[in-house]
Amino acid sequence: MGSLDRSLIAGLPVFGGIAPTDLDRIIGQARSLRIAKDQPVFEQEKQADSFFLLLDGHVRVVKSTPDGHEVTVRYISPGELMGIAHALGLTTYPATAIAAVDCIVLGWPSRLWPTFAADFPSFGSNAYKAVGSRLQDAHSRVIEMSTEQVEQRVARGLLKLVKQSGKKTDEGILIDFPISRQDIAEMTGTTLHTVSRLLSAWENQGLVKSGRQKVMVVEPHRLLVIAEGRDEKA
């Protein structure tokens, strides 16, 4: 487990404006975890006894329906909080979080949440702002699902991933964790077949380069045109 250092979290927006001694106190109560690829950080319906901060890696948050469908709610990037069920007034996790790659995570017992929020006002308000922006995101998703067609949603989904986790290469911008057609389908509300067809088509037009569990966006701008429906049915 090793000794945890304040510098791990010092630069993060959620801990913005918190005194060094407080940071030490915060990190002193954390335990650090290594989560292997494809392993859960926490699971839907289980008691929410911890909340987490992703230090390194990428995590996919998935909600399962009773009838076996899975919907990807969001991807978590380093520096983001997750599993903050208690901030939402829940005692169980509303979704499952799966490591998309090997991850390093800090975890705190949920009972510390109220203390943190009260003792470190900027932590509390940052966290609630994060919740607020997730609410915005969720509403955007609803709107997209209501008003856009699949092609636009997939384009938008890829652009979101690019913005969040894009890594420049000399051939384009690579989404820097393994992602399957199925994963993309689950985050855009379609099927892997349709995603595959779209990617094939885009590959032919030189918009993207993709392969097994990887997607590289070559021409973000043209993808944006599609995402915004200004495509004129190319």
Partner DNA sequence: GACGGAATTTGCCGCAGCGCAAATAAGATT
Partner DNA sequence: AATCTTATTTGCGCTGCGGCAAATTCCGTC
Residue of 6, 25, 34, 63 interacting with its own copies (CB under 8 A) = 63
Q: Is 216 helix (H, G, I), strand (E, B) or coil?
A: strand
Residue 165 interacting with DNA (CB under 7 A): no
* Tokens describing residue 70: 């899975």
Residue 71 interacting with its own copies (CB under 8 A): yes
Residue 181 interacting with DNA (CB under 7 A): yes
Residue of 46, 47, 111, 145 interacting with its own copies (CB under 8 A) = 145
Calpha distance 139→152 (Å, rounded): 17
**At its nearest, how many Å lie between its own copies and the CB of residue 187?**
9
Residue of 139, 163, 167, 193 interacting with its own copies (CB under 8 A) = 139
Q: Length of the chain in residues, anyone?
A: 234
Contacts 24+ apart (CB under 8 A), 198-203: 198/150, 198/151, 198/154
CB 155 within 8 A of CB 190: no
Residue of 88, 91, 92, 167 interacting with its own copies (CB under 8 A) = 88
Residue 224 interacting with its own copies (CB under 8 A): no
The residue type at 40: P
Nearer of residues 60 and 172 to its own copies, judged by Cβ: 60
Residue 17 interacting with its own copies (CB under 8 A): no
| H helical segments located in the chain | 7-10, 20-28, 112-119, 121-147, 150-165, 181-188, 192-204, 220-227
Residue 67 interacting with its own copies (CB under 8 A): yes
Residue 146 interacting with its own copies (CB under 8 A): yes
Residue 134 interacting with its own copies (CB under 8 A): yes
